[in-house]
A = this chain, B = another copy of it.
């Protein structure tokens, strides 16, 4: 569905859900940022203590649960974007453009600079 679904459609979906419950009053940016962190840790928990092989097995068995955690993070990001009037496409594109200047491919590929030291 990702080929046809716009960011705005997903935003509208989460906003509709929120407003049907009169929950906007709870959606302060700080609490949404707290919630993104909590959900990010719940995603991370699926990978705790596991090596590559165990993760492959875990993803095969519990992939749906893992994806639910990812959905939770994204839902809070969409809510955060709504209350802070943020255009997600715009900030993602701008950030990628910044990173393109920061990490020019020819420099990255050429000098063996380690990804984890960037």
Q: Report copies per complex.
A: 4
Residues in B whose Cβ lies below 8 Å from that of A49: 26, 31, 35, 115-116
* Contact of A17 (CB < 8 Å), options: B72, B96, B109, B115: B96
List the B residue with the shortest CB-CB distance to A41: B41
Count chain A residues whose beta carbon lies closer than 8 angstroms to a beta carbon of B: 79
A7 to B1, CA, bound (A): 9
Give residues in A with beta carbon < 8 Å to B: 1-11, 13-14, 17, 20-23, 26, 28-31, 33-38, 40-50, 52, 54-55, 59, 63, 66-68, 70-75, 77-78, 80-81, 84, 86-96, 99-100, 103, 105, 108-109, 114-116
